[in-house]
Every structure is written in structure tokens, then in C-alpha cells.
Amino acid sequence: MTDDWTTFGVDLHLDLASGQAAGEGARAALERSLREAVRAGRLATGARLPATRALAAELGLSRGTVTAAYEQLVAEGYLIARHGSGTRVAEVVRPQARGGRGGSAPPRHDLRPGSPDVGSFPVAAWLRASRKALGEAGPTAFGYGDPRGRPELRAALADYLGRARGVDAAPGRIVVTTGYVQALALLARVLPPGAFAMEDPGLPFHREVVRHAGREVVPLPVDADGADPSALPSRGIAAAVVTPAHQYPTGVTLRAERRRALAAWARDASALVVEDDYDGEFRYDRQPVGALQGTAPDRVAYVGTAAKTLAPGVRLAWLVLPGDLVEPVMRAKRLTDFQTEALGQLTLAEFLTSHAYDRHVRSGRARYRRRRDLLLQALTGHQVEGVAAGQHVLLALPAQSPPEPLLLQRAAAHGLTFGTLTEHWHTPTTPPHRQGLVLGYGTPRDAAYPPAVAALSALLREELG
């Protein structure tokens, strides 16, 4: 028989009929169906199975048949039976889905950049903020709202960004988005015709986002002083996208004279500067560098995000726009997803106004500085760049070092992975651009970080001496 297992509050398809039609006994058919459900993940780890009597009645089988099937799957390690808590699904290693990071087993030592330590997410403080925010929210908070975002969050952001990042922000010029990617895509949709100049090297995925919106992307060279405004033409560019506080992936900070030159170019060219302040709060060895937007609010669109300070799963970011862009971006936002979810916005607003956000950022700054210091100690004798801020550093490779692909391959033997500089260039060259390893120190959990650094040290001793 084929049953949808809905009586017990779990929508689970059990195909017993096909096996029985092929001569499979009822017990074997049930074992196979449950085994396949566990392997495929349709029965999650820890899920409680119905009592044998109840399942037998549901499937039209004898209780002894169901009991025997459960006992067999317990013996095979698919199920766990404990007195008083029933029968539950055991933890089973399942095949990974194809594509993306899930295409292979996760590395033991993950030093890829681009992610914070999500294990440090402030669960208890977030729950307190959520309970308070939702308890005080009126009925309108649960309906449709302003496409710009909840007024509580926009007011809280205006206060925080002005105080902590030097941003010239008013709540009416803030648009809340579901991440940096949506913010960038919205700007690519609404700006006047023209190409987007994007840092070279820079994140390839962000270039894809802009191209997907129908824009041409041109390289904006980055050197030891940051993005070079002198490379920008006076016509044909709608926006220059930069990471002034801590360039990704080189880690350099945009020099003051280049900040002034970039703002002057934007005014002369009637163009926009898009400031990606993805990890601007994390500065270790000197005073934080204020946002570029504060010096030219009429020509800079500031983008901040909770992805690095809290976690990517929060899915909240914010645009601080010049006044003439608010309405076009709000209209595009309405046509894209109408509005960003409201409950997380209310929680983040409370998190900001109670200063729990400040406390969490300070705690993270201390934690990431300790991690950075441990990494720098392991990299003594190597050329390391971008160490003053952020959650990654760049290890420059000497000319005689093995090529990056070979280092990646040999790193895999240590259960180790990291980013490479080559993957961030706009176009390959012959001879190749300079090589380097982009080492993230945010991704691993605290306990996993020292072993990851030790694995990196072992690899560098073997390959670089």
C-alpha cells in the first residue's frame, strides 16, 4: 500500500505497495521505506516515530510486523529506542546535495573568508529583544507596511549609524533590504544608464549580480592605497562600488586623499559611489575608520548589513540613500518583494536601541582580534596584508611558491580549505596576477579554530618552507 503518514502530524510518504508488488514482504517493505526516508532526510534526526500499535493500525499491518521492522532498523543504526521517550531517528550521515558548498563533505578546517562565527550568535539576547519587541508591537506590525522598512528599525539605524559609523542618516532615507545582494541589485535597476565600476580584485558573485541586472561591469584597480579613482572615466559610469573600510579581498583601507578624489569624481561625473561597509565595525589596532558616506551623503549610497556582525541568516541589510534615490529604490523594492519581513526588523530595532547590538559587536571585536593574533603568530615570516580590520587577511605568495590550485589540492590532504586571490580578479592574465591566500578567521567555531590554524601552519611549512 502507499500511505501519506499524516495522522501523526508528520507528512511522510511510505511506499509499501511497489515492494510488495515485486514480492517483498510487508515487514521488508516497511523497513525499506523507513530506511529510505531516513537516508533521504525526509525523516530528520531526532524525529519521533509513532508507537508500533498506532502505526500498525494506520498501515493495516500487524503490530508484530511493525515492532520487528523497528527493531531491525535500531540494530542497523537508523533508529534509537529509549524507554520512556519512544523510537526516534538516529543521526545518519547522508549524501550531500550537488552544487554549491554542499557538493562535497565540509572540510575539517574551514578558513574560507566571507562568514562570521555563526556559533557566537547571541541567541539569549536576541530572544529577549524579540519578546520585548513583539510584546510591544501593535497589530499593524503583522500586516503590510512601508517598503522602506519598519519605522522603528529605520529610526534605530539612523541613531546607530550616525553614532558608530559617522553616517549622515535620516530615517526617511533608509531602505531596509534582505541583504547586501538585494541592495546592490536594486541600485543596478534604478540608476541612470551606465556601467558599474567594481574593485579589481573583488567578489565575483557581486559582479554577477550587477550583470544579471543588465549592467556592464568594468574593473576599478585596487593597490596598496585602495581603489584608484584616477582610473575612473568622466563619462559612461553610473556607479563605482567600493569597500573603503577594509577592501575585499586585499584588506587595504581607502586612503583619505582617495576618498576625497572618489567623492569629487562622483560629483563631476554625476555618478554614484556605492559604499559596501560589510565589516566596518571590526577594527583592531587603531581608531575605526568612519564611513565615506559621511563626507558626501549626496553622492554616496551606504550599504550596511547584519551578516558579519550577527549572522547571514538574519537576512537584514540597510541602504542609506541620497534623497533623490529614495523613491526609485522604494518603488523597485515594492516590485521585487514588496517588503522585507517585519518581525526580524522589530527585533533588530530593539537590539539596537537597548545597546545589546553594541555589546555584541564589542564582544565579537575582542574575539576576532584574538583569532587574528593567533593567525598572525602562525604566519610569522610570511607577507601578510589587511591585518588591521575585518575577518580575513591576505597571505601574499612569493613568486617561487607552488600555484594556488596546487596549494588548494595539497591543503585538502590536511582537511583544510581557504580562499585564493586569483578567483577574485576580473579577468585572468598571462603571466598570472600576483597570487595569495585569502584566509578567513571568522568561519570556524571557537573550538575548531586553533586546529585549523595548526593545519595551515603544517601546510605552509611543507610548501613554502
Task: Give the separation between CA 359 and CA 45, rounded to whole angstroms.
Answer: 35
- Cα–Cα nearest to 404, from 414, 413, 396: 396
What's the CATH architecture for 123-357? 3-Layer(aba) Sandwich (3.40)
- Cα–Cα nearest to 276, from 181, 341, 210, 205: 181
Task: Give the separation between CA 465 and CA 462, rounded to whole angstroms.
Answer: 6
Edge-to-edge strands, sheet with 237-242: 174-177, 317-320, 300-305, 272-276, 237-242, 195-200, 217-223, 226-227
Answer for the pair 233, 197: CB distance below 8 angstroms, yes or no: no
Number of neighbouring beta carbons within 10 Å of residue 12: 16
Instruction: Enter the C-alpha cell of residue 224.
Output: 596598496
Answer for the pair 12, 5: CB distance below 8 angstroms, yes or no: yes
Task: Give the separation between CA 86 and CA 96, rounded to whole angstroms.
Answer: 29
Task: Give the separation between CA 278 and CA 203, rounded to whole angstroms.
Answer: 12
Answer for the pair 112, 443: CB distance below 8 angstroms, yes or no: yes
195-200 and 217-223 as β-strands: parallel, antiparallel, unpaired?
parallel
Cis peptide before 193 (omega within 30 of 0): no
Answer for the pair 347, 129: CB distance below 8 angstroms, yes or no: yes
Query: pLDDT for 387-442, tens place per residue?
Result: 999 999 999 999 888 888 889 989 988 899 999 998 899 987 766 688 999 999 99
At 219, which helix (H) or strand (E)? strand 217-223
Task: Give the separation between CA 69 and CA 67, rounded to whole angstroms.
Answer: 5
Residues constituting the chain: 465
Task: Give the separation between CA 172 and CA 186, rounded to whole angstroms.
Answer: 17
Task: Return mean pLDDT, the chain.
Answer: 88
- Cα–Cα nearest to 196, from 301, 289, 279, 291: 301
What pLDDT is recorded for position 160? 95
Which of the two residues, 433 and 11, has the higher pLDDT score? 433
Give whole-number Cα distances, 408 to 107, 226, 416, 457, 463, in Å: 12, 27, 8, 14, 11
- Is 95's pLDDT higher than 80? no
Number of neighbouring beta carbons within 10 Å of residue 287: 6
Answer for the pair 368, 441: CB distance below 8 angstroms, yes or no: yes
**Residue corresponding to grid cell 530528520:** 44
What pLDDT is recorded for position 431? 66
CATH of domain 2-89: 1.10.10.10
Which amino acid, one-letter code, is at 428? P
Task: Give the separation between CA 196 and CA 233, rounded to whole angstroms.
Answer: 11
Cis peptide before 219 (omega within 30 of 0): no
- Is 98's pLDDT higher than 60? no
Answer for the pair 225, 395: CB distance below 8 angstroms, yes or no: no
**What residue spans define the domains of the chain?**
2-89, 109-119+362-464, 123-357
Query: pLDDT for 284-332, tens place per residue?
Result: 877 778 899 999 999 999 999 999 999 999 999 999 999 999 999 999 9
- Name 256's Cβ contacts closer than 8 Å, sequence gap at least 6: none
Q: Please tell me the pTM assigned to this model.
A: 0.78
DSSP three-state, residue 243: coil
Number of neighbouring beta carbons within 10 Å of residue 313: 11
Among 29-38, 134-143, 367-376, the minimum mean pLDDT is found in 29-38
Answer for the pair 151, 290: CB distance below 8 angstroms, yes or no: no
Task: Give the separation between CA 60 and CA 62, rounded to whole angstroms.
Answer: 7
| Band of residue 136 on the pLDDT scale cut at 50, 70, 90 | very high
| Band of residue 23 on the pLDDT scale cut at 50, 70, 90 | low
Answer for the pair 432, 421: CB distance below 8 angstroms, yes or no: no
What pLDDT is recorded for position 22? 55
| Band of residue 264 on the pLDDT scale cut at 50, 70, 90 | very high
Strand partners, 239: 196, 272
State which fold the 109-119+362-464 domain adopts.
Aspartate Aminotransferase, domain 1 (3.90.1150)
